Amino acid sequence: MNYWPLLGIALVVIGFALRFNPLLVVVGAALATGLLAGLDFVAVVEALGKAFNDNRYISVTWIILPVIGLLERYGLQQRARAVIENLRGATMGKLLTVYLLFRQVTAAIGMKDIGGHPQAVRPLVAPMAEAAAEKSHGKLAEDDRQKVLAMSAATDNVGLFFGEDIFFAIASILLIQGVFESYGYPLTPLQLSVWAIPTAICAFIIHGWRIRALDRNIGRVPAEAGE
């Protein structure tokens, strides 16, 4: 068994840790993986091009962005903030935990495009999370505000990433199935999906704890710095 192609995973980890351009890191890791697996350079580039062409959603993006922009122009973010401000007991921790669960469950049943950064996080989730944090902690410092926005985006990422693998018809499951089958381990997509459930549960618990920890710690750093 040839383990050299697994170096592509290390390249991704190192590249992200050093904060290199994500697109360059992923493409570089894909090229390295293909070459280390013994594929011809042209064949690797051809496979990357085919995968991009088969999975592009450029036309959908161009449809969504003007709609979101128009809604924001007429106060969508302000209305989202107002809903949270008038909701008794709403906190940033509760809001993002509910969204994390919603994102994982919908992705697990194949509805992975129901959320997302342009259509959900920017116009709705992030403003609502910011309003909930201000409701609990008062006016946010800029550092805390950026942390809330970043956590909103991260919650969408975690929910989608660990939820979609439970859906047995997703492309990533079919890719994993093909890799296992090439090495003599015939598995059905359903078998792989079942084993993704424990990982999704762990991801929910860990990220849910991170959300609550941020909610508790907002505003503490400036106070300590003043001392």
More confident residue, 216 or 176: 216
- Give the pLDDT of residue 226: 45
- Give the pLDDT of residue 45: 83
Q: pLDDT tens digits, residue range 25-42?
A: 888 888 888 888 888 888
Mean pLDDT of 55-63: 56
- Give the pLDDT of residue 136: 87
d(CA 7, CA 3): 8
Q: How confident is the model at residue 184 (pLDDT cuts 50, 70, 90)?
A: confident
Mean pLDDT of 43-71: 67
d(CA 160, CA 105): 9
d(CA 20, CA 28): 11
- Give the pLDDT of residue 116: 84
Nearest to 205, CA basis, from 100, 59, 58: 100
Q: What single letter denotes the amino acid at residue 55? A: N
pLDDT tops 70 at residue 57: no
Domain range summary for the chain, segments of one domain joined by +: 1-56, 79-226
- Give the pLDDT of residue 160: 92
pLDDT tops 50 at residue 227: no
d(CA 214, CA 207): 11
d(CA 161, CA 155): 10
Q: Are 177 and 165 in contact (CB under 8 A)?
A: no
Q: How confident is the model at residue 223 (pLDDT cuts 50, 70, 90)?
A: very low
d(CA 33, CA 104): 29
d(CA 135, CA 18): 36
